[in-house]
Every structure is written in structure tokens, then in C-alpha cells.
Amino acid sequence: MPYKKRVYIPERFYHIVSRGNRRDPLFRNASDFQAFLHILKQLYEKYPFEIASYCLMNNHFHLQLRSSEVTISKLMALINKRYANYYNTKYRLTGHVFEKRFFDNLIEDKEGMLEVSRYIHLNPVKARMVELAEYYPWSSYQLYKYRNSKIPCFMNIHSLLDYYEGTSTQKREKYCSSVIFY
């Protein structure tokens, strides 16, 4: 049975999830997480896109992603292919790194944007990997929490912060409070 055709709306964000094959680890150590973020940076330079939030877990990842120049399907194919090549080469493996196609869900509105970002940022807390979202190093939550964080070129934190009133600091505090009390 053929896959259902994906809906692509360039100006909208999507919640993307991609899992390791057989739920095997995608990221075994810090260098794997760093390699994935580096791949995002490299691809951004060729095919600009925006990420509002992300979380890289051991056996899957979440992206809150918008791409106006290439379809989500093409962008995800590039991301997953490059990472699979890296992973298989590093660990001397062959075959699939990712299980089936990635999951995608079109985000409809402001409430959806905030709900998806909170879900993404709280993923390691709900998995009991850390007590607070700010303790997990492989998510974008720290970019919102800590003003002096170096924001990667592919991140657009304003796509979430602009939903709040006040100064930049107040917006960050309001967003982070909404994540804690979600």
C-alpha cells in the first residue's frame, strides 16, 4: 500500500519525529549529538530552514521545523541520509539507521506552536533522564533559558518568544515558565 502524500505548506511549522531502526540508539555519545547538530548547520547553509525547538534523545529526535525553500520531505531525507552515512561509517555498520518514514504533523496555530515546543523540551524530563529541562544538554531549551547562549544559525527562537509581551528577558522568562508548568 503506498504512503499517504504529505501536505507541505512552506510558511508553517511541523512537528517532526524520527526514530532509530528497531528503536536502537541514534546517538551513542556526545560526538554523535554534535555531529547531528553540525549536519543541521551544513544543510542550513545550502537549504535555509528554521527550527523553533529541538530535542535529540538517545533513540529518536524531535524538530519543530519550517522550510520555505525545499519541502519537509526533501529536507528530512537530506538530514537523515547524511546522519545515517555518518553513523554507519563511524560504527562500521550497514543498512537502515532510521525506522520507517519520519513522523510529521502540521502545527495549526499559536497554541499548537507552544504546546509542541513544550512537549519537545520536556521529553527528557518525562523520560526521567533529567529532573528539569534545563539540565538536558541536547535540546534547544537552554537557548531560551540562558540569554548568553550561542544560538545556532538554523534556530529561530523568536518564532516562539514573539507570542509573549515584554522585553526579550521577560519573553524568555514567560516562555520558560510555561514549559515548567506544562
pLDDT digits (tens, 9 = 90+) for 144-176: 999 999 999 999 999 999 999 999 999 999 999
Mean pLDDT, to the nearest integer, of 20-33?
Answer: 93
In this structure, which topology does domain 14-180 adopt according to CATH? Alpha-Beta Plaits (3.30.70)
Q: Percentage of the chain with pLDDT > 90?
A: 83
One-character DSSP codes across the chain: -PPPPPP--TTS-EEEEEEBGGG--S--SHHHHHHHHHHHHHHHHHS--EEEEEEE-SSEEEEEEE-SSS-HHHHHHHHHHHHHHHHHHHTT--S-SB-SSPEEEE--SHHHHHHHHHHHHHHHHHTTS-SSGGG-TTBTHHHHH-TT----TTB-THHHHTTS-S-HHHHHHHHHHHHHT-
Whole-model pTM above 0.95?
A: no
pLDDT digits (tens, 9 = 90+) for 41-51: 999 999 999 99
**pLDDT over 80 at 53, yes or no:** yes
Mean pLDDT, to the nearest integer, of 80-85?
Answer: 95
pLDDT the model gives residue 9: 84
pLDDT the model gives residue 87: 93
pLDDT tier at 6, thresholds 50, 70, 90:
confident
**pLDDT over 80 at 4, yes or no:** no
pLDDT digits (tens, 9 = 90+) for 98-150: 998 889 999 999 999 999 999 999 999 999 999 999 999 999 999 999 999 99
Report domain extents, the chain.
14-180
